[in-house]
Structure 1
């Protein structure tokens, strides 16, 4: 097997057996505030810093300035430099939602991806992207084509998906069929704030650890405590919920 693609998250790569299979498309789901966008930023930042791999960040929800600020908030001070010199290309909501036309938006994304030379991509979020489609048939057609184009261009991609529920919504939706892996970020309220967890539910062609592990977000980004003892999804009495 080719070298696995590192996520850049301590502990997550260990759970995945080293990283993500190249040219895979992975769904990253969770409710607001779980750290999904920060995971995407960390994924691209690691690609440039450690592997000289260029990345594309597609955001339907934030301006480029907001994304830079988020990167800075977790200590990724070189993110600005990587954007300025083109090692990370950001397409933000002002560029993508300006005219509200699906064809124009898709063309802009494909033009950027088709220029080549990119290794990693983050789409934030798939939930907003799907609002362009008028029905499930159109959604299926475009998402299938989009997923194929990402792979054809050699991209290993994270597709961020918003959920309303605190506990992972494991209902099998269209996006689950189109992706090679499913990663859930979970947070539960406590008296002093929130506890965060990460669960890798699926990863095709890989032997993975499917327990739930504690997650922290701090200076330096996301850290998964893979040695902390997983909470199995097979026995609800052992879950933190």
Structure 2
């Protein structure tokens, strides 16, 4: 069995057979507001608190204060403290977009990867990351190069990807084939708000459960209900996975 890294999300690690394979690069896709960024925050926070594994959060869309506030909104009260102690390193949109040049941005990240020891990384989002490039060939080349860099430095990484389609099988991009795993966050409208679900579609080297499972976001983070496979995705269905923070 390959060595795995626990995500820290109740229920999800069981679905994954223990967690994400160590040193893997996993694509996390979904509509805006489905909880992808909170999943990344949950992953890094649990890494430090539960396993003593330091993490890096790279955001092309949010300021550091917004990320801290999002973490605190779901009960991760020590998040800001961990950032101050460099247990979690944040590179926010002001830093990542200041050059407007991929090579210079990567050079600064490589310094961090080389000079300090980190175990986990979240890139939020791949959609903005790809705006550095002009065509699909260039995107493919640099995405492969970036993934290789992460692996070379021993990072187990989540690459967050915004998608427009509600149902993931209608929108399969190149990045899906260039990563070690694909996790989708899905939400469907109900009379009282939304229901949320998670689908682990692919994980190389792992025997996974590919059912769609309900999830919810509440104080304390994300919970996936692994015993509730087949839970209805029809609008109006009540049950776990209702409204919560949508960062």
Tell me if TM exceeds 0.5. Answer: yes
User: Are 2:165 and 2:171, in contact at CA under 8 Å, matched by a contact in 1?
Assistant: no
Between 1:215-224 and 1:93-102, the stretch displaced more is: 93-102
TM-score (norm 1): 0.94
| Aligned counterparts of 2:166 and 2:189: Cα–Cα separation in 1 | 9
Deviation at 1:172, TM superposition (A): 3.6
> Following superposition of structure 1 onto structure 2, how do residues 1-241 of structure 1 map, counting pairs within 5 Å?
1-230=1-230, 240=234
Give the secondary structure class of the aligned counterpart of 1:127.
helix
Render the CA deviation track for 1:38-69: whole Å, top value 9, x for unaligned.
00000000000011000000000000000000
Q: How far off is 1:169 after superposition?
A: 4.1
In the alignment of these two chains, the number of paired residues is 235
Deviation of the 1:33 alpha carbon: 0.4
Match in the other structure for 2:240: none
CA RMSD of aligned residues (A): 1.4
Query: How many angstroms does 1:192 deviate by?
Result: 0.4
| Aligned structure 1 segments of 4 or more residues deviating by more than 6 angstroms | none
CA displacement, residues 140-182 of structure 1 (integer Å, 9 cap, x when unaligned):
1111111001001100000000011221145442211210000
Distance 1:27 1:103 in 2: 22
Give the whole-Å Cα distance in 2 for the aligned partners of 1:107 and 1:187: 37
Secondary structure of residue in 1 paired with 2:20? coil
Are the aligned partners of 1:163 and 1:169 in contact in 2 as well (CA < 8 Å)?
no
- In 1, the alpha carbon distance for the partners of 2:63 and 2:126 equals 16
**How far does the alpha carbon of each residue in 1:127-151 deviate from its partner, in whole angstroms, 9 at most, with x for none?**
0000110111211111111100100
Assess if the C-alpha contact under 8 Å between 1:59 and 1:93 holds in 2. yes
Which is worse superposed, 132-141 or 52-61?
132-141
Q: Which runs of 5+ in 2 are unaligned?
A: 236-247
C-alpha distance in 2 between matches for 1:170 and 1:55? 32
Kindly provide the CA deviation profile for residues 48-95 of structure 1, in whole angstroms up to 9, marking residues without a partner as x.
001100000000000000000000000001001110011100000000
